[in-house]
Amino acid sequence: MKRRLILLLIMAVLAGGCGAVETPTATAEATHVRLPMGFVANVQFAPWYVAVERGYFAEEGIELEFDYGDYDTKGIQLVAAGWTPFAIASGDQVLRARSQGMPVVTFVNWWPRFPVAVVALEKSGIQGPTDLVGRKVGIPETFGAASYIGWKALISATELDEEDVDLEVIGYAALENLTVERVEAAVVYANNEPVQLTERGYDINLIPVADYAPIVSNGVVASEEVLESEPELARALARAFLRGLEDTLNDPDSAFQICKLYVEGLEENEDVQRAVLEASLEYWRGEPLGRSDPDAWQNTVKVMEGADLLEGNVDAEEAFTNAFLPEG
């Protein structure tokens, strides 16, 4: 009863503002699917662009349309309410949604390595987690964002006493705060701010959360109902995307050229964006591609419970599935 009420409320809220997002429509040639993406086109969506341009979705009978918008959390809601079959979302969003009664499931794991890290200028002398004791560390926010979850995971895994660190909310201004030495380290995305610092000529040290704590990151999400009623569509989307991901990992130069067809003004900042893509590759590699790690899901639940980020009990094993990945 609670789950049905939640879904009805979501549908009511989204009905007015999200009319552009539609459920899939089948034609004689293909099934049209609109996929909620991030706010704007970005090189970090390279595997999707590659899969479209090389016809992998078309071969699977899918006409994929990228739907950019403010879908940081709404993508999950759209899937749960049945407005769209699939979305890109992080594992923490899936777990939070399930704790609220939304039956959403990650069926393709895109980022096997969690991309949050702590970065410091080399001259600070900060090289590992224990060096953060007594230091001022900047963080974008201290609630449910991935950066906060990553910080909590790092603290838990290394058994640091959080009170021994001077944690300060700085918003998304790590570069400015680090370079003027207002903070000595900052919680960032490992494939973004560290790249920009390096491109600006700074020597840095990086403490990736993934080196200490396995927790889940971005993947492809569907509702339990879609996975049950349209399993072949889910398998087809997984196959096409994973082919694009494999091509991107094997030939990032070609993938970057394809990105130029989708990302406006990429040539104006080509060196930095090429470096962002290269940094992202290390967080996409997995064996096999697309597989979720049960231990990472269990650990993420533990971290989120410890940070009081879940509204109810969540069974980690019900939040993901590997059943829709290509065999072999």
Could you read off the pLDDT of 119-157 as tens digits, one per residue?
999 999 999 999 999 999 999 998 878 999 999 999 999
User: Where residue 10 falls among pLDDT bands split at 50, 70, 90?
Assistant: very low
Question: Rounded to whole angstroms, how far apart are CA atoms 86 and 231?
Answer: 12
pLDDT over threshold 60, residue 184: yes
pLDDT tens digits along 54-84? 999 999 999 999 999 866 668 999 999 999 9
pLDDT tens per residue across span 245-258? 999 999 999 999 99
| Cα gap 46→37, rounded to integer Å | 12
Whole-number pLDDT of residue 102:
96
Task: Please state, as a whole number, how many other Cβ atoms lie within 10 Å of the Cβ of residue 254.
Answer: 15
Band (pLDDT 50/70/90 cuts) for residue 284 is: very high
Interhelix angle 46-53/252-259, rounded to 10 degrees, is: 80
- Amino acid residing at 21: V
